[in-house]
Structure 1
Amino acid sequence: MHTPSDRDVLCLRDVAFADAAALLARHGLELVAVPDGEPIPGSYWGEPEAGIIGPTVYVRGDTPVHSMLHEACHLIVLPPERRAQVHTDATDSVAEEDATCYLQIVLAGRLPGVGSERLMADMDAWGYTYRLGSTRAWFEQDAEDARAWLTARGLLL
C-alpha cells in the first residue's frame, strides 16, 4: 500500500489560511494553527492529521487540506450539544462517517485553491477506500445515503 507524504496532497501551507478559517467559521468552528513541529492537539491519527477539541480544529502547515475538512465536517454533522463534548474522536456511526466524507468534498468546492476534484484525488492518494474503487465514483454513484442524511439535517443547501 502506498504511504503518502504531505508532498503528495494539498496541505494547509498551500492554501490561504484566512480562507480556510472563514469557511469553518461559517459553520461555527474555529481553525487554530499549531506551529510546525509541535504536536497537534486532538489528532486521532497523529501528526500531520488535523485534531478536534470541541468546536476547534487544529492544524499545522503540513496538515493535508482533506484532513482539516474531514475533521471539521465531523463537527459540522454533530448537534451543538455533542460538538461541545468532542475530544479527538467524533464519530459514533457509519452514517455520520459517510456524511462527513460527502460534506468534506462539497466544502472543498467552496475553498479557493482547492475544489472538489482536487480533494477527491487527494483522498484517493491518502488511502481513503470505497467499494467502487475511487472517491469520485463513490461521491457520484454510491453516496445517496450520505446525501439524504445531510439533506434531512439541513446541511446541504
Structure 2
Amino acid sequence: MAVEILEIHHTGVRVDDDGAKLKATQDFYADVLGLQCDSGRPTIPGIPGAWVNVGEVGQIHLIGGKQPSPVAKGPGEDPTRPHVAYAVRSIKETRAELDRMGVKYWVIEGLVSPDSTQLFMNDPCGNMVELHQFDTCRCRASNRVKA
C-alpha cells in the first residue's frame, strides 16, 4: 500500500535573501503574476519569507534566510530547501506506512503551528518532498478565511 496523497499544497521556492531579493521576489509574484501574499503567514524565527496564494488550493512558499536554517536536522535535512508539499488524510497513518515501507524521512513538529507535523524525504533524484496533514495549513483558501 502507498501513502494516500489528497492534493498538492505548495511549492517551496528558495530565496537566498539579502532582504532586497525577498521583497523583489514578492513584488514579482504580485505585480507580474497578479498573486497576493497570505497575510496570515506565521512568523518563523530565522526563516523570513512569504506565502503567495495561488487559487483555491495552493501556495508558493518563498523561503529566505541562511542555510542551514535554524530548524535543519542535519546535512540535506533542511525544510527551507526547494520542495513540493502534498496533503495527506492522516499524518499519523502516513508516518506508519513510511515506517512499514522502510522509507527514510525526517520530522519537523510545531514549526508553522503548535500542532503541525511535517514529514520530509528525498525522492531518488534528491528532490525534497513534504507531507503534512490535510486541512491543517493555510494552503487551502478555505483555511485562510478571516474570522
TM-score, normalised by the number of residues in structure 2 = 0.29
Higher strand proportion (structure 1 or 2): 2
More helix by share: 1
Larger Rg: 2
